[in-house]
Amino acid sequence: MTLTLTPGAATLVDLETLWRRGVAARLDPAARAGVTAAAALVAQAAAGEAAVYGVNTGFGKLASVKIAAKDTATLQRNLILSHCCGVGEALEENTTRLMMALKLLSLGRGASGVRWELIALIEGMLAAGVTPMIPVQGSVGASGDLAPLAHMAAVMIGAGEARVDGRVMPGGEALAQAGLTPVVLGAKEGLALINGTQFSTACALAGLFAACRAAQAAVIVSALSTDAIMGSTAPLEPAIHTLRGHPGQIAVAARMRELMAGSEIRESHRAGDTRVQDPYCIRCQPQVTGAAMDVLSFAANTLEIEANAVTDNPLVLVDEGLIVSGGNFHAEPVAFAADQIAIAVAEIGAIAQRRVALMVDPTLNHDLPPFLTPDPGLNSGLMIAEVTTAALMSENKHLANPCSTDSTPTSANQEDHVSMAAHGARRLKRMVQNLEVILGVEMICAAQGIDFRAPLQTSPALRRAMTAIRARVPAIAQDRALAADMTAAADLVRAGTLAEAVA
């Protein structure tokens, strides 16, 4: 399958499909005319005598150095090779492919001045499964993601390294194996490839997609937890949430009402329950998870705009006949979005961890056995699983501290304020993985609690969730090593299995 992308109009659905399914991507051919017109304007400038940044000058602090026309190709090649300074582990293949698709979208707007040949090569690499090896460290998120994108561009000129069919090989060999030919870069083309926010944006989008799936699972798991501890559904009354008005809160409360409808456990304690109110981790789930979902929606809007943006420099304004230096490469919007996603992920995990703590505590869990084991004392049950969630919750709190408020001058003070979007976005993977485990442990605890309420049954929707859980995580009758169960439960969150089960 090949997804056709329209520059300026790609949707988050398109981008998530690329990221999750590994499909190829190509630009709508209608974009070609604009790309060609911009390339012609750059060619005209390259043939002229006037100094035009990135076309016939050096770069950054060296922008005042005029470059002879005969050295254009060498200038662009040197730019790519000199900027291949990334370090650390390689970016995941699906996120790298998303980054490449984002570069297609940016170049396809017709404001970068590259030939269509470069776009066709990226399309060909995506179709043939030639994935550049992109070290994840080295970008400060201003003047673009220079180092990571240089490693992508290096493969395009036959240098660097790429992965094909699971094997890492030199970039030129990878292209040859796929029947592709390296490009010789023309004026501005190297700069157009490495200037831009596509690495940061791809990492932020990957974090967003995973976080949204985890948030959906959190609503389902929290409904199970509420039933497991015989929590009240009164705080889910529609009027409560309408009076406040936040859309995420309203949606979460509505979803929880749907999920818990028809629960025998809930009906069993509507009368005669001596508890007046549940703890906040039960009572305030719509207010917390719903607020997090609103934050994720806000960040999603920012990232969708950025995914369609032109973020290299200088920009080729065809209608005006100008090539103008600006600052669209500064990834501050992406850094803000990444920080927002991080805070939302941390808070979803924080309230989920408190529900885990509630369920294992015999003083708070409404007659469930200590640590949710049928033979406490001889068995420790979920005692240390809860401790693991506390550790992951605390780790996420630290990771959620903002990256966008940090800056350091680089490039001899020419680039004197930077966004730190790259590692702000990259940490989201680790944070969401932590959240998936927290929710996985909550899922195990809630399932144990539901089982202990037999012969009373939970709702039809949540029974379907229980079936999905028990297919991967058997009930815990006596102590066993739980690490594999925790991994299996986290996988259910990551795969969206619960949402499919209750749909």
Q: Which residues pair with 66 in a beta bridge?
A: 57
Among 27, 112, 121, 142, CA closest to 309:
112
Which residue has 């979902």 as its token pair?
293
| Gap between the Cα atoms of 18 and 88, Å rounded | 25
Q: What distance in Å separates the CA atoms of residue 20 and residue 188, rounded to the nearest whole number?
A: 33
**Sign for the pseudo-dihedral over CA of 3, 7, 11, 12:** positive
Q: What residues are labeled active site?
A: 53
How far is 287 from 280, CA to CA, in rounded Å?
Answer: 10
> Per the structure block, which two tokens stand in for 499?
């949402």
- Other CB atoms within 10 Å distance of the CB of residue 232: 17
* C-alpha distances out from residue 375 to 370, 372, 455, 479, Å: 9, 9, 19, 9
Q: Which residues, in sequence order, are CB contacts of 67 under 8 Å at separation 6+?
A: 56, 57, 58, 75
Per-residue burial over 322-342, b if 16 or more Cβ lie within 10 Å, else e, is ebeeeebbbbbbbbbbbbbbb
